[in-house]
Each structure stands twice: as structure tokens, then as C-alpha cells.
Amino acid sequence: MSEALMRVAEAAVTPLMPADVLDLFDPLRKGADLRARVVAVQPETADAATLLLKPGKDWRGHVPGQFLRLGVDVDGVRHWRAYSLTHGPRRDGLISVTVKAVPDGVVSPYLVHGLRPGALVHLEQADGEFVLPPEGGKHLFVTAGSGITPVIGMLRNLFPATDAGVLRPGRSAEHDIVVLHLAPSRPETIFARDLAALAEAGAVRLISHYDDEHGLFDLARLTELVPDLAERGTFACGPAGLLDALETHHEALGLPLTTERFRASFVGVDAGEGGEVVFDRSGVSIEADGATSLLDAGEAAGVLMPSGCRMGICFGCVVPLREGAVRDLRNGAVTVATPGETAAGGVPIQTCISAAAGRCEIDL
């Protein structure tokens, strides 16, 4: 669109931006903020579900085993969480993540039990190094609970399931895989049918351990269960306690280990009215009330702030929110950034229409 046409469009939709109007008709278009439309919510267990998503046109794809950060608004607050992709690339272009509801959680129970097809969620591009070497080899996967999610993405890519059964295409020929999966019980095992089908087809050797039947797993049994352990590269995903014990075990034996760590629980930001504002790189920290914009508060403290229209229209004041919570002064919506969950670059916010909703750090 030419500059003249853009000015006409901006004038026609003020106080909105043309992009705001386009979002109503084509939110997944190229050039828009990256989002996805929920195609289906498929129950896996009583407290876990797979979200089938149609990503926006700027989605760059992923390597099986990687994760994405998903943003969703719950009670007026945008939260971000990281979830592993549970499929390899699909012909229909859809992607999927599997979520286990955390007791007393804010986001995961909503995704599992409250999200409906047609809803829009926010996305970041895929990330992560928990992926199989393309040249193949002998591998051991040790997973527990929802730690199976990145592994099932790898396995589905290597051994696609069809109506005729599990396929073993050429790309899987160089991979020799053992899966040790730990779960509290059989009914609580996510992807139990998928793992069983892979084992029955001879694609993997499956070792299932259920705490209610076998007691807590003893790592001292690992070499007994996997006699050629020393010949395998181990990939592990699950609770921190299991991964810590595996790291100690493998380090003592001089064996390679690749891990993927997820938070077992999440403590959200308690959004309030006002709070400490830290302006990264400037070294300035101030106390701001909940009615003063971050732009005005920063300038009053002598911080050089980018700005433009000062009305929330031109986006000349956009900066990354690294950590904490801010409230939109126009509608009260709260945006939250959490290290480890939010993208490394932070969440873009407009300082001219955002105020502190608790302690927050912004990058200038």
C-alpha cells in the first residue's frame, strides 16, 4: 500500500489502525502478529488435551522436538506458556501441542477445558535444540508424564501412523530407538495408544513403568533394562527431579545426555495498581502509580523514551516488556511477560497507553 493510501486508510479508521480492522477479517494474514486459530481440542486423558492449530501465514515451520510459546488471554490478562509440538510437519499445514492441566493453574486448565474451536491464540516461532541428529543412531528416550510430548513429535515424524498402521519410511531406517516412559498409572499416560502402536509395529522398543503397579522407578535398573545403554545417546524430558537424577547417573558413567526441562508449576504475576518500573540499560528504576503511562513516568524521571502520537495510534513508542505486568489504560487489559515463558526478546507494548500493574522491566 502506498504512503498516500495508508494515510487515507488511517484517517478512515482512526482511532484504530488499518491493521486492527484487517485483523477482524484475516487475522492469520501475512504480516500480521503471529497467531493461530484453534481447529480442534482433542482429549487425551481426563486432564490433558491436544490443541490442533492453524498457524498464521508467517509461521516458519519447526523441527520435531522443538517447542513454541503460546499466548492466551484469561480473565483479561495475556499469559504465555511454552509447549512442545507433538507432530512433525503435516501436509495440511496444521500444528499441534498437548497440554496437561496443572492443578490450581491459570492457563493450562483453560486450554484443556475452556478453549473452543474457532478461538485465536498468539504464537511465537518454534525454538529449541531438543531434536534428533539427522544422521540417525541409537537413542534412548526417558520420559515422564507430559515429558512425552516432544518425543512423540519426533516419533510421529519418523514413524507416521495411517489407517493401514504405523509406517517405517526411509528416514527412520538409521534410527534405533528405546523408549522408557514413566507415569503414575496407565489411565494417566498421555499417548498410551500411540506408544503401544509404535511398539507393536516394531518401530521402537517400549518400556512402560507405572508407579501404582511397579513403585517408584530406580535408576540403578537402567543398565539392566537397557543393556546397550553405553552405545546410546539419551534424550530425557520430565520433572526436574528425574532429570537431575539422570544427569548425576550419566555423568558418573561418562554417558551423553540431552534434556528438555519444563516447569512443573507456574506462579503467575499478581497484577495490581502501579509498582516499580525498571528501565533496562538506562539504570533507572522508579515507582509509578497505576494511572500514569510508562511514557510519562519515564520522561518525568529523565529517561529518553521513544514516542510519537502519544495516543496509542502510531506505535512509535513500542518497546519490549521483559518481565512483569502492565495495564492498558484504554480498556484495562493486562499484559504479562515472564522469563522462560515469554520469548527472549520480550513482549511488545505501547508505553503511551500502558501503566505499571506491578513490578515491570522494559527494554529501551
Q: Are residues 242 and 314 in the same domain?
A: no
* Same domain, residue pair 324 and 219: no
Domain that holds residue 333: 275-363
- 171 CB neighbour count, 10 Å cutoff: 13
Distance from C-alpha of 105 to C-alpha of 123, rounded to nearest angstrom: 20
Of the candidates 315, 306, 312, the one whose C-alpha atom is nearest the C-alpha of residue 362 is: 306
Which of 261, 284, 308 is a domain's end point?
261
With b for 16 or more beta-carbon neighbours within 10 A and e for fewer, the 22-39 pattern comes to ebeeeebeeeeebbbbbb
Which pLDDT score is estimated for 23?
Answer: 60
Q: Tell me the pairing of strands 318-328 and 347-350.
A: antiparallel
Where are the strands (E) in 242-308, listed by range? 257-261, 275-280, 284-288
The DSSP call for residue 174 is T
Q: What's residue 271's pLDDT?
A: 56
345 shares a domain with 281: yes
Length of the chain: 364
Nearest to 83 by CA among 96, 69, 101: 69
**CATH at residue 192:** 3.40.50.80
Amino acid occupying residue 25: F
**Which of 138, 118, 66, 73 is CA-nearest to residue 96?**
66
Of 96, 123, 150, the residue that ends a domain is 123
Judge if 141 and 51 occupy the same domain: no
Inform me whether the pLDDT recorded for 129 exceeds 50.
yes
Tell me whether residue 27 is in a domain. no
Whether residues 311 and 236 fall in one domain: no
Going from the C-alpha of 186 to that of each of 181, 183, 192, 362, the distances in angstroms are: 11, 7, 8, 46
Query: Is the same domain home to 176 and 213?
Result: yes
Q: What pLDDT does residue 264 have?
A: 40
Could you report the per-residue pLDDT of 183-206, keeping only the tens digit for each? 988 888 899 999 999 999 999 999
Sign of the dihedral through C-alpha 149, 150, 151, 157: positive
Look at residue 102 and give its three-state secondary structure.
coil
What value does the mean pLDDT take over residues 116-135?
Answer: 93
Cell of 253: 558413567
Give a yes or no: residue 238 inside a domain. Answer: yes
Contacts of 213 (CB under 8 A, 6+ apart): 185, 186
Does the pLDDT value for residue 143 go beyond 60? Answer: yes
Of the three residues 123, 153, 176, the one that is the final residue of a domain is 123
End-to-end CA distance of the chain: 30
Q: Do 150 and 226 reside in the same domain of the chain?
A: yes
pLDDT digits (tens, 9 = 90+) for 258-275: 999 765 433 344 456 899
Residue 14 lies in a domain: no
281 compared with 364, residue with greater pLDDT: 364
Task: Verify that 146 and 118 share a domain, yes or no.
Answer: no
- Checking if the pLDDT of 41 tops 50, the result is yes
In a domain, 24, yes or no: no
Domain count, the chain: 3
Same domain (yes/no): 148, 224: yes
The three-point CA angle 25-93-263 to 5° equals 95
Within a domain: 63: yes
Share of the chain above pLDDT 90, in %: 58
Are residue 170 and residue 88 in the same domain, yes or no? no
349 in any annotated domain: yes
67-124 tens-digit pLDDT:
998 999 888 778 888 899 999 999 999 999 999 998 878 889 999 999 999 999 999 9
Per-residue 3-state assignment (H helix, E strand, C coil) for 18-81 = HHHHHHHHCCCCCCCCCEEEEEEEEEEECCEEEEEEEECCCCCCCCCCCEEEEEEEECCEEEEE
The b-or-e profile of 46-72 (16+ CB within 10 A means b, else e) is ebbbbbbbebbeebeebbbbbbbbbbb
Q: Is 28 within the bounds of a domain?
A: no
Which CATH number fits the domain that encloses residue 73? 2.40.30.10
Please indicate, yes or no, if residue 18 is contained in any of the structural domains: no
Q: How is residue 16 written as a grid cell? A: 484504530
| Domain shared by 257 and 280, yes or no | no
Distance of CA 120 to the CA centre of its chain: 15
pLDDT at residue 35 is higher than 90: yes
Mark whether 295 and 351 lie in a shared domain. Answer: yes
